[in-house]
Structure 1
Amino acid sequence: MKIAVIADIHGNDLALEAVLADIAAQGIDDVVNLGDHFSGPLNAARTADILIARNFPSIRGNHDRWLVSKAPADMGLSDRSAHSELQPHHLDWLRTLPPTLVHRQEIFLCHGTPQDDLTYWLEDLTTEGVVHMSSRQRIEGFAAGIDFPVILCGHTHIPRAVRLADGRLIVNPGSVGCPGYDDDEPVFHKVETGSPDAAYAIISKMQQRWDVTFRRIPYDHMIISHLARQRGREDWASALASGWLDG
């Protein structure tokens, strides 16, 4: 059994199409989607059309939640940009998405942690805003009570897998469409993957054991970078061009 895992598309329709083409080339037709679908200065509406047509098992991320719960005037720049493109039926689709989901009775889907879509799980921050791998105790703590052999999360855009002490596998597939960002909460920090490629993961089960393969897919990322620059978002333009926020 093989299942493709996508997350954090952020309105990047070209990256999504490249990832979906690679998934098809792998002969995989089972795909799960971990949220944060549209937020960003890119092509939110076209991304929505692609996802709604595919009807993958999907959950909502924090930005999806904000897109349907906040007034545009109260949104951040990326959410406001996406909201201006989305049609009512796109927002209605977001409203149907649950915060967590169980797929095939073995795979638990969440965006941040099982308890909260805003909390980093496999990564943590120092008080100075340095992103680092989370501690074993913290990772195990968030997994308490999640009695499934595979747990999937997104949110940080950093591909990573952790095998828990009892053998459960936690996987963050990385971001399809946003290879770098900064955030002011809980302290200012940057997340930079160092590559403009689209990222996703393939989880596979053989003889009752689950494993993961991470995929990085090149696509014409400069088209999307130029679009972000045209829309006044130099931070996005830099991240999309290089995977770094400083160009």
Structure 2
Amino acid sequence: MKIAALSDIHGNLPALEAVFDDIERQGADVIVNLGDILSGPLYPSQTADRLMRLGLPTIRGNHERQLLGADGTHMGPSDRFARGVLSEEQLAWVGALPATLWLESDVLLVHGTPQDDLSYFLETVTASGCRTATHSEVRRRAAEVEAALILCCHTHLARSMQLADGRLIVNPGSVGLPAYEDAHPFAHRMESGTPHARYASVTRTLRGWEVEFRAVEYDWHAAAERAASNGRPDWAAALRTGYC
């Protein structure tokens, strides 16, 4: 079984199409979508239409949950932009997405961790910034989940870690936004360092699950121009460079 894992598309339809093209060349038995699908100043409605037609195994992320909030005035700018252009049908699709999903009896899809869509799985944020999580931290976050493979995302950084008990946790990185800043729980930056669209190909073999991280070129300058024209110079810089 070969899984193409996508996450954090953030309405970047050109990046998503480039990833789909790469998946077609590389091959996959199933494509999964790990959430944070639409929010951002790019193409939320068009991205929703594209994915709704495909019917991929999909979970919601924190941004899907936030999109459905009753009061748009308290949304961040990325959620507010998406909410303003999504149709009722598209919002209903978002609302029906599960928080987690078992793809197979030993493959679990989560957004942040199995318990929380806002927690980082493979990274730890401290007052000094962000660092790679330790094995003990990741083991604690995985808790007693009996999955040989846990696919997560949320941090936009492509990374994997195998625990001593054999469980593999994979974050495929972000299809649509290679860098961002956040203030919680402490101010930090998540930066992939390149503008490429990213996803992971995870294959079941006789030796267990093996992961390949893919970085895909697309016209990120055009995406950056669209972000800038919609009032988001921060996104424009991230899309062009992979840095904040």
SS at match of 2:82: helix
**Number of residue pairs matched?**
244
Cα distance in 2 for partners of 1:95, 1:39 equals 14
Whichever residue aligns with residue 33 of structure 2, its letter is N
Q: Which runs of no fewer than 5 residues in structure 2 stay unpaired?
A: none
Cα distance in 2 for partners of 1:177, 1:188 equals 22
Cα shift readout 1:45-64 (whole Å, capped 9, x = no counterpart) = 00001110111000000000
Cα distance in 1 for partners of 2:231, 2:98 equals 33
Deviating runs (4+, > 4 A) in structure 1? none
Contact residue 224 and residue 240 of structure 1 kept, 8 A: yes
Equivalent residue number for residue 163 of structure 1: 162
- In the TM superposition, 1:17-56 aligns within 5 A as 17-56=17-56
Equivalent residue number for residue 206 of structure 1: 205
SS at match of 1:232: coil
Alignment RMSD (CA, Å)? 0.9
Normalised to the residue count of structure 1, the TM-score between the two structures is: 0.97
Cα distance in 1 for partners of 2:31, 2:145 equals 21
Contact residue 4 and residue 30 of structure 1 kept, 8 A: yes
Normalised to the residue count of structure 2, the TM-score between the two structures is: 0.98
SS at match of 2:131: strand
Contact residue 35 and residue 64 of structure 1 kept, 8 A: yes
SS at match of 2:118: coil
Cα distance in 1 for partners of 2:149, 2:103 equals 10
Cα shift readout 1:139-170 (whole Å, capped 9, x = no counterpart) = 00111211011001000000000001111100
Equivalent residue number for residue 8 of structure 1: 8
Cα distance in 1 for partners of 2:195, 2:166 equals 32
Shift of 1:44: 0.2
SS at match of 2:184: coil
Contact residue 23 and residue 29 of structure 1 kept, 8 A: no
Give yes or no for the alignment of 1:63 onto 2:63. Answer: yes
Shift of 1:29: 4.0
Contact residue 5 and residue 200 of structure 1 kept, 8 A: yes
